[in-house]
Copies of this chain bind each other. A is one copy, B any other.
Amino acid sequence: MSPRTEQQFQEIRENKREQILEAALKCFSTNGYYKASIAEIAKEAGISKGLIYNYFESKDVILKELVWGVYEEFFKRFEFPKDLVMTEECFVSYINISIDIVADDPNRFKLYFALFTQPHIMDLFKADLMQKMEPFILMFLNYYTEKGYENPMAMMRFVSAAIDGVQMHIMLDKENFPVEDVRKILLKMFV
């Protein structure tokens, strides 16, 4: 019989990759990164341990990919304003996306949060993260400066913190958290 075509292999790989990432997400969410073992992920994905290493070179890398997914999702949804000047419309969009991205997939977001408490994992991202966040910081700073706030830097830091806090609460207790009502409060207070 003839071997599979290049494209068939591509498809298999693509699918299996997703399958593994999904399984890993589930395991990491259930047990945390360290307690979740490769064996468990393999079982969850219905494949052998060895195969995972055909797709990802280490456990760290799997985590990395999952976390990057959060960023990518954000940047896919968020449209940067022209000239990097933040408009009200853009701010609204920022808040909405920040909320939606967590509400849509709290588990994946949990991984993102794990970064901040686990130095070993944090190290994997720190540099990239800083760089990505810089433009936002500047835009918010300008926004509150223009609005005539007394202390725009503090306001910016506070708003960032508050949004992160909301994200965290949604992540921890999506069922009971009044997402829509809080969204309204956020928009009213900060924009």
In the complex, identify which listed stretch (A16-24, A88-96, A154-162) lies at the interface while the others stay far away.
A154-162
Q: Which residues of B contact A114 (CB under 8 A)?
A: 117-118
In contact, B158 and A166 (Cβ under 8 angstroms): yes
| Total chain A interface residues with beta-carbon distance under 8 A | 42
Question: What distance in Å separates the Cβ of A106 from its nearest Cβ neighbour in chain B?
Answer: 11
Bound state CA distance, A116 and B113, in angstroms?
Answer: 9
The reply to whether the CB of A124 lies closer than 8 angstroms to some CB of chain B is no
- A9 shortest CB reach to chain B, Å: 11
A119 near B: Cβ within 8 Å?
A: yes
Q: A114-B118, A116-B172, A161-B182 are in contact. List 18 more A-B contacts (CB 8 A).
A: A29-B119, A31-B119, A32-B117, A32-B118, A32-B121, A33-B34, A34-B118, A35-B118, A35-B120, A113-B117, A151-B185, A153-B178, A157-B178, A158-B185, A161-B162, A161-B166, A164-B168, A165-B166
Offer 15 A-B interface pairs, CB within 8 angstroms, sorted by A. Answer: A30-B119, A31-B120, A32-B119, A34-B118, A35-B118, A116-B171, A151-B181, A153-B178, A154-B178, A154-B184, A155-B185, A161-B168, A162-B162, A165-B168, A168-B168
